[in-house]
Every structure is written in C-alpha cells, then in structure tokens.
Amino acid sequence: MFTLRYYSPPDFIGRLQFLEFPKKVSNCVVCAAKGPRPRYPRVWKTRTKVGTVSKSLKLVECIKGLSNVKEEVYGALDSFIAWDLEFPLITVKKALKALEYEKEWKKIIQVTKWMLSKGQGRTMGSYYLLLYALAEDGRIDEAEELWTRLFSDNLESMPRVFFDRMIFIYYRRQMHDKMFEVFADMEELGIRPTVSIVNMVGDVFQKLGMLDKYQKLKNKYPPPKWEYRYIKGKRVKIRSQNLKEPENGNKEVDEFSNESNRDDESNSDELEVDEYEVSEMDEPEPGESVTSPSAP
C-alpha cells in the first residue's frame, strides 16, 4: 500500500537552503545540434563607416582618370561595387563631397545620375547637389527640367534652399522673368524669402526702374535687426547694422577712446597743478613756526 509522509515545515525549509538558483540569465539558447546561438540574431543590413574614407578616395581616383563618356564611367562604377553585398552609399556620398570640393561638375553629374539609376540616395540633398552641378556646368535646360519635376512632386514641402539656388541662377544669367516667377511661387506658398533673395530681387527692380515695387518689397520684407553668428561654438546674437558697417563702429570706438584719453590727461594735469599749489601754500615762510593743532 502507498503511504504518505508528512514533512514538517522546518524540514522543508532546511532543504531549500541547499538549492541554488542561477543569478544570471544567459542570452544564448543552447541548441543540441548546433550549439549555442544568439537569442536576438543580428540584422544583416549594417551601416558601418569603417574604411569608407580610403574607399571613397579610391573611387575618386578611379573616376578622375576616365573620360566623360557615360558608358565608360558607368562601367567603371559598376565594376567598383561588383563585390559589395550592399550598395556603398556612404562611400559614394563621401566621394561626391570630394568631387564637389575639387569642382569636378561633370563627374558629379555622372556619379549622381548613376546612383539615382540604382535606386539609391534619393534624398533632397542629392537632388540639390545635382541641380547645383548642372547650373555650374552650364546645362541650364536640364537644371530647369529637374527643378520643374521636383517642384511638381514636392509642392508643399519644397525646401527654401532650392528657391534660393534657382533665383541665384536666374539672377546671374539675367533671366529676370523666370526669377520673378520663382519669387511669386515663394510668396504664393507662404515661404519667407531670405535676405539674399530680397537683395537680388530688389536689385533687379532698381535696374528695371520699378522703384514702387522696390519700396513695397522693402516694406514687406525689412532687413532683420539682429543676426546670429557662431563664435567658438556658441550662438551669438549680433546687430545687423554693426555687421554691415564695421568701419563706422570702429571709428566711434576710436573717437570715444581718444576723448577718454584726453580727459584723463587733462585731469592728471589739473591734479598736478593743484598739488603744486597746495605744496606752495603749506610751505612756511622763514621766521614762522609751524604749529600743529593740539587736541582739546
């Protein structure tokens, strides 16, 4: 027959002292067939930046030695990334930055179009660099086509730097009608123009003799009273008038310092004269005795 034993609580508590529980929980799950494996497996796609600088320099050297033929450049770029498992977007971006520093506009256009054809790097920064390179290379028709497509696709979210760039392109080439169209689009969308845009449009109004429109423009967008500059990593608020007229400010400071120096010199001369007069008055004449005031 089966019998049941009764364990008293002290005996049961005493046996619990010999049981040891693990203090740390391992992050690995042990598999009988393949051994330990990570509980959270790694993501395959990574964004490592190690070695991208040297690789971007190699890419720049590879491109600069080629001609401007599209098929040759595209073939070299395809062979350069043939063994990469992922598209080296960071490397290409750094190479574009190096080409921009060297003002290789044709190479920038080719590399950017090749990158966009791969479906990579479709950001506003890439499109802005392409627009800038097309304008600097003198391909205004392609720049206008790119601007029209971007403006139609991103009507409500178009960055202000694109308007600034297009107005500058038209202003430098004296295409006033198109510049006024871009400025009208800015006002219609409610985008406040920068100081450079207002100055360029106002300059064109003055050249064309539209003084009434120039006054309306200045009244609507007055120059800011304060400007911000970064000095030693700190954001400093500075008056715009002092930045535009530094010579007058320096002259005023010099005049004030000269006047203060003159006042100091005159005060020092007066003090010397007073001390000399006091010393002469205090000197006793011969035959006179000097008496000191006695205490009461």
Q: What is the pLDDT of residues 72-98, one digit of tens each?
A: 999 999 999 888 888 989 999 999 999
Q: Are residues 215 and 148 in the same domain?
A: yes
- Provide the residue range defining the domain that includes 217: 136-224
The pLDDT score that the predictor gives to residue 294 is 41
User: Which of 40-49, 194-203, 239-248 holds the top average pLDDT?
Assistant: 194-203
Last residue of some domain: 204, 224, 244?
Answer: 224
240, 224 contact by CB (below 8 A): yes
Residue 271 lies in a domain: no
**Residues ≥6 apart with Cβ < 8 Å to 237:** 226, 227, 228
- Cα-trace Rg, the chain: 40
Q: Indicate whether 20 pLDDT > 70.
A: no
The total domain count for the chain is 2
Q: Which residue has the higher pLDDT, 32 or 259?
A: 32
pLDDT bracket for residue 229 (50, 70, 90): confident
78, 96 contact by CB (below 8 A): no
Q: Indicate whether 255 pLDDT > 80.
A: no
Last residue of some domain: 122, 149, 180?
Answer: 122
Alpha helices in 137-238 (DSSP H): 140-153, 160-172, 176-189, 195-207, 211-220
Residue 232 lies in a domain: no
**Residues ≥6 apart with Cβ < 8 Å to 159:** 124, 128
The pLDDT score that the predictor gives to residue 17 is 54
**Residues ≥6 apart with Cβ < 8 Å to 274:** none
How many H helices and E strands in the chain?
Answer: 13, 4
Residue 81 lies in a domain: yes
At residue 29, the 3 state secondary structure works out as strand
Q: What is the mean pLDDT of residues 123-132?
A: 94
Q: Indicate whether 245 pLDDT > 50.
A: no
Q: Are residues 114 and 194 in the same domain?
A: no
Q: Which of 33-47, 124-138, 222-236, 261-275 has the lowest mean pLDDT?
A: 261-275
